[in-house]
Chain A
């Protein structure tokens, strides 16, 4: 299904990435990060701060806590097909703080990772949409519960990784939980609200119902690593779509945190697949992929939006651009959730049957 994908991943796009080029250890990013990835513990030496045993616990996950205990390092992986994976290419990117110190690495997904994720999403789609709407709603509600349960952790992570104040972080996390809760409730209602029985002039029973479009590629917002992500994913999956999410934003690690939340909410593997990496590298492969039915994009530049639209025609993909709110408060506002955000990713099926004896 993917013959028409473009040939090579574009490494030059990666070099433009500011986080990567800021890395002192990455003259040619691919090799350096491969090394960091393949020699597990050597990863610590990638941070020059590591040697001087940081007292600030926000540096390098697994730093010392207030009791002086050295924490356990966490590797931020991607979530594909229900499994937490590293990239098949073994490349990572670095998340740095304002001073340029390494905070953590995260995975730089490859073209192959993207294709694997599309495969996982396709495999999961029929089963997910075949579940009862009630069951899907229970799973989304459960995800809201899990966000709530991890509230403190997420707030801490947003402070560390997204450089938010504690107030901003709380707004982001609470907004994410509330948004997931709001959409969860739509799961077993949107069909009722959007369906119709059509009064045709002939003796037929005629009705129209919404059905999921299929596999949706999501390009995540740049400025809201948790709330923005939930705002994009929830309306797509609640109807029975599965998705592949490409995350390049101020703190892609929050997408990994979200995947750990979703993984403990009874989502079947493959319903949500989260890839961290570079949008410019992954987008061409996603938009030319013949087994993706629709694209949801938030943010991005003019050229990225245009290339999505141009490539979408190859398999008549549905394309929907979400305008990116420019503040956390705007993301959290009620006008950022809508029944009509479900609609771009559903199809209408109209059925006819004769009436007679």
Chain B
């Protein structure tokens, strides 16, 4: 891991500010992978059975570039089988089942996830590259909590929307991204089932492993066949789901570009749609903020999950009077971030999800340099194999720079400054996105005022990147529409009239 020279350590300590204890290096502490089980080859999960596919592609561990397993790419015919299975399960079983029993099935899934939490965490980290600390402490507990939360809604839907009659929609087609593979599956599947729908889910092609474990759990829970179907594959498979005439509802989480294609694709159909798309979240630091806490929040906002977070606080807006202090403390804190083996319990920043994503980060960072922003990167050493990127921060960024406008989806922060709250609000809203924002201030009235002015679906005051199954999540503007989580997350899966 990071081995610093005495000289570097001394120079770090010369910088006035926080000292996070960089005097000793950590011994490697990798999580054991001995007890995890997975097949070498997966097809699809259709009608309660694992079925073989036709064409297979490998999924690799982005930290080692080694192949973990092979997965099939579903074609239109295989998607059709999955949709038919979901349709039959909806018509024959799930929509007729007593809501209280639906609740108990969903509850079983949640409990089984808790029981297998460690195995799921390890697999998630192997397949996606995120640090085990996060998959173990954030992703998987939230996955279980999500199923448990929505289990309780299944037999209480009439209380969710006062004065309205509610009914399920039918078959939901769901396409999810690679940044939180199992968590996104939970966000999609749990509310859909609670509302009485059946699903066809497609995990991302770089992170399909834990979805197959979810399929196993559905079997173990004795979930009626066809209620949850999971097909593997890439864009073509996703398109086959979206375009299938027997899909009643499409839910997509991913890039704004693909979201727009999907919105166009369902034109002229009766399909409902929810989109959870990209973001360029503003994290606003006022001069009256608790600066040390704010620095921790900035780190959490942009380096959580290597920055592969749609709601990442990737645009830091700092009040001019404190920008030097904030940036200096940020640099010191960044030096202490441990980049490396995602399975190591002390790792803060794991592997970039794929080579393609790593190249995209390189390309956007280069554009930042070319356009005149000032780049600072942590001096940490990176593993020789695998896809890794140094924690990076750009200062002297202008609104027009690509790094201030485009979603980088990596551990790269752009710092802009402002003088007045009005300027901060204006800059925060100066983006087609509207997913998230952070505000740091010790003054309550200022927090409320700025939070009200920002056009974003999630606003964190004096914190960042917090999630909970009871808390609705989703965007304004080109960050999509519909909500996931909480009572509001039920509505996209119900007819409410």
Q: How far is the CA of A354 from the CA of B463 in the complex (A)?
A: 7
For residue B239, CB closer than 8 A to chain A, the reply is no
- Which among B262, B474, B476 has the highest number of chain A CB atoms within 10 Å? B476
A200 and B497 within 8 A (CB): no
| A307 neighbours in B (Cβ, 8 Å) | 267
B297: min CB distance to chain A, Å: 10
Render A306-327 as a binary contact track against B, CB cut-off 8 A, 1 for contact: 1101101111101000000000
Render B248-279 as a binary contact track against A, CB cut-off 8 A, 1 for contact: 00000000100111111011100000010100
Count of B interface residues, CB-CB < 8 Å: 49
| B487 neighbours in A (Cβ, 8 Å) | 196
For residue B481, CB closer than 8 A to chain A, the reply is yes
For residue A53, CB closer than 8 A to chain B, the reply is no
B161 and A340 within 8 A (CB): yes
| B256 and chain A: residue at smallest CB distance | A316
B466 and A204 within 8 A (CB): yes
B268 and A306 within 8 A (CB): yes
B485: min CB distance to chain A, Å: 8
Q: How far is the CA of A312 from the CA of B478 in the complex (A)?
A: 11
B268 and A313 within 8 A (CB): no
- Which among B162, B488, B491 has the highest number of chain A CB atoms within 10 Å? B488
Q: How far is the CA of A235 from the CA of B486 in the complex (A)?
A: 24
From B267, B466, B472, B477, A348 is in contact (CB under 8 Å) with B472
For residue B92, CB closer than 8 A to chain A, the reply is no
A350 and B463 within 8 A (CB): no
For residue A193, CB closer than 8 A to chain B, the reply is yes
Render B402-416 as a binary contact track against A, CB cut-off 8 A, 1 for contact: 000000000000000
List B72-88 residues whose CB lies under 8 Å from chain A. Answer: none
| B479 neighbours in A (Cβ, 8 Å) | 316
For residue A9, CB closer than 8 A to chain B, the reply is no
From B455, B478, B486, A316 is in contact (CB under 8 Å) with B478
What secondary structure prevails in chain A residues at the interface with B? Answer: mixed
For residue A67, CB closer than 8 A to chain B, the reply is no
- Which among B259, B432, B460, B473 has the highest number of chain A CB atoms within 10 Å? B460
Q: How far is the CA of A206 from the CA of B468 in the complex (A)?
A: 10
List B313-340 residues whose CB lies under 8 Å from chain A. Answer: none
| A123 neighbours in B (Cβ, 8 Å) | none
For residue B145, CB closer than 8 A to chain A, the reply is yes
For residue A149, CB closer than 8 A to chain B, the reply is no
For residue A347, CB closer than 8 A to chain B, the reply is yes
For residue A198, CB closer than 8 A to chain B, the reply is yes
For residue B470, CB closer than 8 A to chain A, the reply is yes
| B470 neighbours in A (Cβ, 8 Å) | 198-201, 206
B460 and A352 within 8 A (CB): yes
B466 and A352 within 8 A (CB): yes
| A196 neighbours in B (Cβ, 8 Å) | 472, 486-488
A352 and B461 within 8 A (CB): yes
For residue A18, CB closer than 8 A to chain B, the reply is no
List A174-201 residues whose CB lies under 8 Å from chain B. Answer: 193, 196, 198-201
A352 and B474 within 8 A (CB): no
From known contacts A352-B459, A352-B461, infer whether A201 and B161 are also in contact, taking CB-CB under 8 Å.
Answer: no
Q: How far is the CA of A64 from the CA of B486 in the complex (A)?
A: 64
B456 and A349 within 8 A (CB): yes
Q: How far is the CA of A340 from the CA of B163 in the complex (A)?
A: 9
Q: How far is the CA of A313 from the CA of B266 in the complex (A)?
A: 10
For residue B191, CB closer than 8 A to chain A, the reply is no
For residue A283, CB closer than 8 A to chain B, the reply is no
List B438-497 residues whose CB lies under 8 Å from chain A. Answer: 447, 451, 455-463, 466, 468, 470-474, 476-481, 483, 486-488, 491, 496-497
A136: min CB distance to chain B, Å: 16
| B474 neighbours in A (Cβ, 8 Å) | 348
A208 and B472 within 8 A (CB): yes
Q: How far is the CA of A352 from the CA of B461 in the complex (A)?
A: 6
For residue A33, CB closer than 8 A to chain B, the reply is no
A208 and B488 within 8 A (CB): yes
For residue B164, CB closer than 8 A to chain A, the reply is yes
A296: min CB distance to chain B, Å: 14
B457 and A313 within 8 A (CB): no
For residue A12, CB closer than 8 A to chain B, the reply is no
| B468 and chain A: residue at smallest CB distance | A200
| A193 neighbours in B (Cβ, 8 Å) | 162
For residue A338, CB closer than 8 A to chain B, the reply is yes
Q: How far is the CA of A302 from the CA of B462 in the complex (A)?
A: 49
| A197 and chain B: residue at smallest CB distance | B470
| B473 and chain A: residue at smallest CB distance | A350
B478 and A315 within 8 A (CB): yes
For residue A305, CB closer than 8 A to chain B, the reply is yes
B264 and A353 within 8 A (CB): no
From B261, B266, B481, B497, A338 is in contact (CB under 8 Å) with B497
| B259 neighbours in A (Cβ, 8 Å) | 313, 316
B264 and A208 within 8 A (CB): no
List A89-116 residues whose CB lies under 8 Å from chain B. Answer: none
For residue A330, CB closer than 8 A to chain B, the reply is no
Render A188-225 as a binary contact track against B, CB cut-off 8 A, 1 for contact: 00000100101111101010100001000000000000
List A262-305 residues whose CB lies under 8 Å from chain B. Answer: 293, 302, 305
For residue A339, CB closer than 8 A to chain B, the reply is yes
Q: How far is the CA of A339 from the CA of B466 in the complex (A)?
A: 31
Q: How far is the CA of A350 from the CA of B488 in the complex (A)?
A: 11
| A338 neighbours in B (Cβ, 8 Å) | 163-164, 497
- Which among A213, A314, A318, A340 has the highest number of chain B CB atoms within 10 Å? A340
For residue A166, CB closer than 8 A to chain B, the reply is no
Render B220-261 as a binary contact track against A, CB cut-off 8 A, 1 for contact: 000000000000000000000000000000000000100111
B457 and A350 within 8 A (CB): yes
For residue A333, CB closer than 8 A to chain B, the reply is no
B289: min CB distance to chain A, Å: 13
For residue A42, CB closer than 8 A to chain B, the reply is no
B432 and A315 within 8 A (CB): yes
Q: How far is the CA of A202 from the CA of B496 in the complex (A)?
A: 31
B471 and A316 within 8 A (CB): no
For residue A351, CB closer than 8 A to chain B, the reply is yes
| B277 and chain A: residue at smallest CB distance | A316
Q: How far is the CA of A199 from the CA of B470 in the complex (A)?
A: 6
A353 and B447 within 8 A (CB): yes
| B264 and chain A: residue at smallest CB distance | A313
| A352 neighbours in B (Cβ, 8 Å) | 458-461, 463, 466, 471
B251: min CB distance to chain A, Å: 15
Q: How far is the CA of A52 from the CA of B14 in the complex (A)?
A: 99
- Which among A293, A315, A316 has the highest number of chain B CB atoms within 10 Å? A316
B468 and A339 within 8 A (CB): no
| B455 neighbours in A (Cβ, 8 Å) | 347
Q: How far is the CA of A201 from the CA of B485 in the complex (A)?
A: 13
Which residues in B have some Cβ–Cβ distance to A below 8 Å? 145, 161-164, 256, 259-264, 266-268, 275, 277, 432, 447, 451, 455-463, 466, 468, 470-474, 476-481, 483, 486-488, 491, 496-497
Known: A202-B466, A316-B256, A352-B461. 18 other contacts (CB 8 A): A198-B468, A198-B470, A198-B486, A208-B486, A208-B488, A213-B476, A309-B264, A313-B261, A313-B264, A316-B259, A338-B163, A338-B497, A340-B161, A348-B488, A349-B459, A351-B461, A353-B461, A354-B463
What are 8 A-B contacts with C-beta separation under 8 Å? A200-B466, A201-B470, A310-B268, A313-B260, A340-B496, A347-B457, A348-B474, A351-B459
9 tightest A-B contacts by CB?
A309-B267, A313-B263, A200-B468, A306-B268, A353-B461, A313-B260, A310-B267, A198-B470, A313-B264
